[in-house]
Amino acid sequence: MLEISNLVVKYGAAHVLKGISLRVENGEFVSIIGPNGAGKTTLLRTISRLVPIISGAITFEEKTLNLLEPWQVVTRGIIHVPEGRKLVGTAAVLDNLRLGAYLHWKQFKRRLPLVYEMFPILEQRKNQQARTLSGGEQQMVAIGVALMANPKLLMLDEVTFGLAPILVNLMRSKLKELHDLQISILLAEQNAELALTLSKECYVIEYGNICKEGPAAELREDPQVRAAYLGL
């Protein structure tokens, strides 16, 4: 479904992605783990075409994304839940959800109950300004906005960052529910335990390189991964 080969990205002189190759098959749950500054966010932003590509190829459903604008990537069905959520804070929850559905107006009424079923609190808070919600609730809005956009591939960046343990567990079950809806998922996470228990395949990225990849079940047993990322 998504195929990335030899992707190179620089910010000025800083070489941030140094030849990344990665695949997400249709319906698969893939995670990317790695320390702060490894390049996870840059990788997702490059797939969304928010960052210029120096070299390498990104294809989705066998068509190139290299030359697309970000809005065109969204029309292909790749929806990005960015780090830090990026909601319209002064707009009501419902208006944020409306923005998510801007390409699918006809489906708005059908998709809204899906979001409310997954996150019932959002129906209670639908008229409240997004910025007045708790961090966990705002993260639910961000995922709700993405769901409204009818994703084929959902890219999630650090969705559990800063959340209390109880909310991390809630997110864990919500990510499973999203995957049960047949949505393919690419999850970038510093919480390696969460990523390695939810995903089928995992890539470990360090200093802009993929240093390990494989079935998450195998990486969970890898001594280096256990020591560096699971604290075991």
Nearer to ligand ATP (CB atom), residue 39 or residue 100:
39
When asked if residue 42 is in the footprint of ligand ATP (CB under 6 A), the reply is yes
Among the candidate windows 32-40, 53-61, 104-112, 221-229, which touches ligand ATP by CB under 6 A?
32-40
Helix axes 165-180, 135-148, angle to 10 degrees: 10
Q: How far apart are CA 191 and CA 230, in angstroms?
A: 9
Nearer to ligand ATP (CB atom), residue 41 or residue 77:
41
Nearer to ligand ATP (CB atom), residue 34 or residue 151:
34
When asked if residue 37 is in the footprint of ligand ATP (CB under 6 A), the reply is yes
Q: Which residue in the set 13, 14, 67, 166 belongs to the binding site for ligand ATP (CB under 6 A)?
A: 14
Find the binding residues for ligand ATP in span 173-192 (CB under 6 A): 190
In order, the DSSP letters of 83-152 are TT----TTSBHHHHHHHHTTT-GGGHHHHHHHHHHH-HHHHHTTTSBGGGS-HHHHHHHHHHHHHHT--S
Residue 29: both structure tokens together? 């749950």
Pairing label, strands 2-11, 14-24: antiparallel
Nearer to ligand ATP (CB atom), residue 40 or residue 179:
40
Q: Which residue in the set 20, 34, 48, 202 belongs to the binding site for ligand ATP (CB under 6 A)?
A: 34
When asked if residue 39 is in the footprint of ligand ATP (CB under 6 A), the reply is yes
Q: Per-residue x/- mask for ligand ATP, residues 74 to 93, rule CB under 6 A?
A: ---------x----------
The Cα-based distances of 125 to 24, 88, 175, 194 in angstroms read 35, 15, 21, 28
Strand partners, 57: 5
The Cα-based distances of 105 to 20, 75, 97, 144, 225 in angstroms read 36, 13, 11, 15, 44
Nearer to ligand ATP (CB atom), residue 95 or residue 206:
206
Q: Which residue in the set 4, 20, 22, 38 belongs to the binding site for ligand ATP (CB under 6 A)?
A: 38
The Cα-based distances of 220 to 35, 123, 165, 195 in angstroms read 16, 38, 21, 10
Among the candidate windows 33-41, 70-78, 95-103, 136-144, which touches ligand ATP by CB under 6 A?
33-41
When asked if residue 31 is in the footprint of ligand ATP (CB under 6 A), the reply is no
Q: Would you tell me which residues interact with ligand ATP (CB under 6 A)?
A: 11, 14, 16, 34, 36-42, 83, 190
